[in-house]
């Protein structure tokens, strides 16, 4: 009888996507570090790679602070208002532009999985979740439509009616550059 191997959810995800274990840090490995693999931003607006005894708001990705959590389902206008209420270090958050969300498609699978693992380690939601991110951009042709981006499997952008909220969320983004 063969001994069954047990895999963590991260290891199963790595096997399914063909990523070797050596290339991706797991949550356990984050705990053993004295420095975070990504810079974080705290609620007070300070930034650091060193763990501090303060509440973390998000993770810095290409010069922008990305909130640890997504909102609940939102209509486009409600999502924009939700983001506008979020202020980090004196800067108001926004929903992020299409180009910002599409950059995750240019990252390797290992990089995105590492980022997802880090968000989960911090108690946040993964970047590639089962939802659509509203962007801050409206359709230029139809004022009833706005752009949204899905990162679930591969980056997909589409136009959606602003009043549609099923699996449409916002994830506040703060430009710190």
**pLDDT cut 70: percent of the chain above it:** 81
φ, ψ for residue 113, nearest 5 deg: -65, -40
* Start-to-end Cα distance in the chain: 58
Q: What is the pLDDT of residues 14-37, one digit of tens each?
A: 444 444 444 456 666 677 677 899
Q: How far apart are alpha carbons 76 and 169 in whole angstroms?
A: 8
Inform me whether the pLDDT recorded for 75 exceeds 50. yes
pLDDT (0 to 100) of residue 144: 94
The residue assigned the tokens 């607006």 is: 45
Average pLDDT, integer, range 145-166 = 86
Q: Tell me 123's DSSP state.
A: T
Average pLDDT, integer, range 159-169 = 90
Indicate if the alpha-carbon torsion angle 9, 14, 15, 17 is positive or negative: positive
The residue assigned the tokens 């963590």 is: 8
- Pick the range with the lowest mean pLDDT from 11-25, 62-76, 139-153: 11-25
């Amino acid at each position: 009888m063969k001994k069954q191997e047990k895999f963590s959810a991260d290891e199963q995800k790595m096997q399914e996507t063909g990523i070797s274990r050596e290339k991706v840090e797991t949550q356990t490995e984050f705990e053993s570090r004295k420095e975070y693999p990504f810079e974080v931003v705290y609620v007070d607006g300070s930034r650091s790679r060193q763990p501090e005894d303060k509440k973390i708001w998000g993770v810095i990705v290409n010069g922008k602070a990305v909130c640890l959590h997504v909102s609940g389902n939102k209509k486009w206008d409600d999502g924009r208002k939700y983001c506008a209420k979020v202020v980090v270090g004196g800067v108001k958050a926004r929903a992020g532009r299409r180009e910002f969300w599409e950059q995750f498609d240019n990252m390797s699978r290992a990089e995105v999985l590492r980022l997802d693992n880090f968000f989960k380690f911090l108690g946040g939601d993964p970047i590639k979740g089962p939802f659509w991110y509203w962007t801050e951009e409206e359709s230029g042709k139809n004022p009833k439509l706005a752009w949204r981006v899905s990162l679930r499997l591969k980056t997909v952008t589409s136009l959606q009616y602003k009043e549609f909220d099923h699996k449409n969320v916002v994830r506040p983004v703060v430009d710190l550059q």
